[in-house]
Chain A
Amino acid sequence: MKLAREKGIVVRIGVLEAEQLKQLLFSRYPFDESATFARFGWRESPDALILTLAAVEPPQPGDLDEAAAHVVINEPYTLRMALTAEQNAFGIGVLHSHPRNCAPHPSSIDDDMDSYYAAYFGDFVPDRPYVSLIVSLIEEELVISGRIFWKNEWHAASHFAIEHTPCTTYGGEERTTSIPYDRIARLIAAFGEEAAARLSKATVAVIGAGGTGSIVIETLARAGVGKLILVDPDFVSESNLERLHGAVPDDAAEKRAKVEVARRHVLSINPQCEVDAYRGSLPHPDVVDAVVRADVALGCTDQQHSRLSLSDLSVRYLLPSIDCGVMLEGGGGNVTGQIVQIVRFLSHDPCALCREMISPDRLASELMDDEEKQRRQAAAQEALERGEDPNPYWIGAPQLNTVGYLTGVAGSMAAGYALGWLSGRFDPPFERIQLNLVAKYLDVQEVDHQRRSECSCSRSRGSADQGLGYALISAPPHWEKPTRVP
């Protein structure tokens, strides 16, 4: 079967579905295969197709021929999936296992099955991707291959990203180790060579290249992460230099983009690291196109729209994320609290709205264009002069204070947890914590929230662009198109 390779095809799977798949697909291990159908959301950009496993459609008794060692799917199961697909917006996928320690290389039987299914489902629901994945356990490592029929062409899956679960893409893009092992000898001694190899193949998106983001970026680059996607709309100013790793006074004088400075700094640490830098913001569609290709994303801004967007991407595109923030309480020489917050966003976690992390007033003012801001500020002033409440018109956002050592703590912690996920060595032992650097025992608090059943995040897991109607935020039309820093 001839496979087109001009598009990067990334298949994303949530950790809950991954566990469900392991139960289903390895149920007849070590010698016999098994299978299931699933539904997939998708997002297409000029150079990539992102597929998200939205739901597993497990077989019912009698749907598979249990007498055969290889997979035989009985017709009622296939027809049921086709009819179900007519009732939803998703693409159809079939996932099956190969025996333990057998490569997930498609056999001629697999070729016949895929040719038949691509045509069969295409008759029921045209213009949707058909996804075929083969999963195997090879020396206890999860190895996956995939091919996708999309717009009358077969494409090979180039990368699989399972939420905080390492896996190997069979026949996918192999990035050679991008940093000399001598430089990361202590990391290898702690986590092993396998972890270092995983980091070199990993892609991490960092949203925000300011004080917190710059230490995150530096930590990831020094650890040998193979590819970084950097996003920030701002330029360096004098007041950034106290905490912006890699920046020098000349950058402020020249008003260089923060992502340009970050990119330069990464390449000075590791010239082999691949860096895509965008001057822009989430949720601009061009930035979303870039970010959803990452294995992990880190949110390092105090912007409400960025935080909400990242939360939305973690739900709809199954992009595991870690958001970090800092806050100095008090001021004028009397600092009463120095707060660091780290938040995990997995696709089944409560979103930023459910966690009450978003200030609606700040969010709305961030999203307005300048004309609307000026009109509202003037209306608020007029309301004050009339003796009325100015808040319906305008609520100003206070300038948040911060210092470099605080952003350094937050960024280092977040980068560490990302490295733990990517290497498969450890997870954040919390969903959301806050700690106060000037309180006894740091006053560590775990903040627990539940998903609200009425929230969009409860209905849109893995839905990708097919769940746009449940998006928590959209890009304002007045935003400039992001630019890619060369």
Chain B
Amino acid sequence: MSRERILRELSLLREGGQVTELVTNGRDYVIYRDVPTNGPRFGLPSTSDVIVPVPAGYPASPIDLAGLPQGSMLLPRTKGGQNNQGVVHVGGRTWQLASYHPHSNGGGPPWDQTKHGFHTYFDHLVSWLERLT
């Protein structure tokens, strides 16, 4: 993991007011706090924390997947949320990863480490939680 690069990317989000954390629990993860959702349309929360694993060899490998706190009512309504990609215990909480692959034919552009990072992945997360079904 290029910790320096990730911290630089997260600092860009902080400048815009988005709170994030880089946490380690055997493997590294980024937790985005209070990401806005379209949940109120379904009587669900308007924000949610989201977890994203740091890929091996980052930034050489694309950022992939996204997870919500296990049991979140938002999860079944997200794209890929019904396709469980694993459960992780990070930051004192249990998270479930969804099959969300924006940079791998999942709706976003192909991964380009010169343009993309954890700062741009935030846009995909907002989009993911906006398009609840």
Judge whether B55 and A367 touch: CB under 8 Å: yes
| Alpha-carbon distance between A95 and B1 when the two chains are bound, in angstroms | 36
Question: B111 within 8 Å of A by Cβ?
Answer: yes
A477 and B1 form a contact (CB under 8 A): yes
Residue of A with least CB distance to B106? A392
The contact of B114 among A308, A353, A372, A389, by CB within 8 Å, is A353
Task: Write the nearest CB–CB distance from A24 to chain B, whole angstroms.
Answer: 32
Task: Assess the A375–B85 pair: CB atoms within 8 A.
Answer: yes
Q: Are B5 and A468 in contact (CB under 8 A)?
A: yes
Please report the C-alpha to C-alpha distance between residue A126 and residue B48 in the assembled complex, in whole angstroms: 43
How many inter-chain residue pairs (CB < 8 Å) link A and B?
A: 82
Q: What is the interface of chain B mostly: helix, strand, loop, or mixed?
A: loop
Q: Does A344 make an interface contact (CB < 8 A)?
A: no
Residues of A within 8 A of B3 (CB): 468
Q: Is B104 part of the contact surface with A, judged by Cβ < 8 Å?
A: yes
Tell which of B33-41, B56-64, B88-96, B120-128 binds the partner: B56-64
Main secondary structure, interface of A, reads loop
Residue of B nearest to A476 (CB): B56
User: Taking the complex as formed, is B99 at the interface, i.e. its CB lies under 8 A from any CB of chain A?
Assistant: yes
- Total count of chain A residues near the partner, CB < 8 A: 32
Binds B, one of A45-53, A134-142, A450-458: A450-458
> In the complex the two chains form, is B105's CB within 8 Å of A391's CB?
yes
Which of B27, B57, B106 sits near A367, CB closer than 8 Å?
B57
**Is B57's CB under 8 angstroms from A470's CB?**
no
Residues of B within 8 A of A174 (CB): none
When chains A and B are docked, how far (Å) is the Cα of A308 from the Cα of B5? 17
Query: In whole Å, how far is A326's beta carbon from the nearest beta carbon of chain B?
Result: 23
Residue contact B85 to A474, C-beta cutoff 8 Å: no
Nearest opposing residue in chain B for A457, CB measure: B114
Bound form: Cα–Cα A215–B110 in Å = 37
Which chain A residues lie closer than 8 Å to B85 at the CB level?
375, 379
Question: Cα distance A372–B53 when bound, in Å?
Answer: 12
Q: Is the CB of A469 within 8 A of B5?
A: yes
Rounded to whole angstroms, the CA-CA distance of A475 and B7 in the bound complex is: 17
CB of B2 within 8 Å of the partner chain: yes
Asked if B131 is at the interface (CB within 8 A of a chain A CB), the reply is no
Chain A: minimal CB distance from B15 (Å): 16
User: Among residues 29 to 74 in chain B, which have CB atoms less than 8 Å away from a CB atom of chain A?
Assistant: 55-62
CB-based contact A360/B5 at 8 Å: no
Complex CA–CA separation, A46 to B2 (angstroms) = 21
On chain B, the residues within 8 Å of A391 by CB distance are: 104-105
Is there a chain B Cβ closer than 8 Å to A472's Cβ? yes
Give the number of residues in B that approach A within 8 Å (Cβ atoms). 30
A473 to B27 CA separation, bound complex (whole angstroms): 17
Tell me if A474 and B57 are in contact (CB < 8 A).
yes
**In the complex the two chains form, what is the Cα distance from A367 to B86 in whole Å?**
19
CB-CB under 8 A from B57, the residues of chain A are: 305, 363-364, 366-367, 473-476
Q: Is B14 an interface residue (CB 8 A)?
A: no
A468 and B56 in contact (CB under 8 A), knowing A360-B111, A455-B114? Answer: no
Residue of A nearest to B115 (CB): A454
| Across-interface contacts of A477 in B (CB, < 8 A) | 1, 27-28, 56
B113 at the interface (CB under 8 A from A): yes
Residues on the A chain within 8 Å of B7, using CB:
469
CA distance A368 to B60 in the complex (A): 11
Q: Is A80 an interface residue (CB 8 A)?
A: no
Q: Determine how close the nearest CB of chain B comes to the CB of A152; give it in whole angstroms.
A: 26
B2 near A469: Cβ-Cβ < 8 Å:
yes
Chain B residue at smallest Cβ distance from A363: B60
Say yes or no for A252: interface residue by CB 8 A criterion: no
| A392 lies within 8 A of B101 (CB) | yes
Chain B positions within 8 Å of A456 at CB level: 113-114
Chain A, 259-315, CB within 8 A of any chain B CB: 305, 308
Given A360-B111, A375-B86, A392-B104, verify A308-B56 contact (CB < 8 Å). Answer: no
* Further 6 A-B residue pairs, CB within 8 A, beyond A364-B57, A456-B113: A360-B110, A392-B99, A393-B101, A471-B4, A472-B59, A474-B2
A/B interface sample: 24 pairs, CB < 8 A: A308-B60, A364-B61, A366-B57, A367-B55, A367-B56, A368-B61, A372-B56, A375-B85, A379-B99, A389-B105, A391-B105, A392-B106, A468-B3, A472-B60, A472-B113, A473-B59, A474-B2, A474-B57, A474-B58, A474-B59, A475-B57, A477-B1, A477-B27, A478-B56
Chain B residues proximal to chain A, CB less than 8 Å:
1-5, 7-8, 27-28, 55-62, 83, 85-86, 99, 101, 104-106, 110-111, 113-115
Q: Which residues from chain A sit less than 8 Å from chain B, CB to CB?
A: 305, 308, 353, 360, 363-364, 366-369, 372, 375, 379, 389, 391-393, 452, 454-456, 468-478
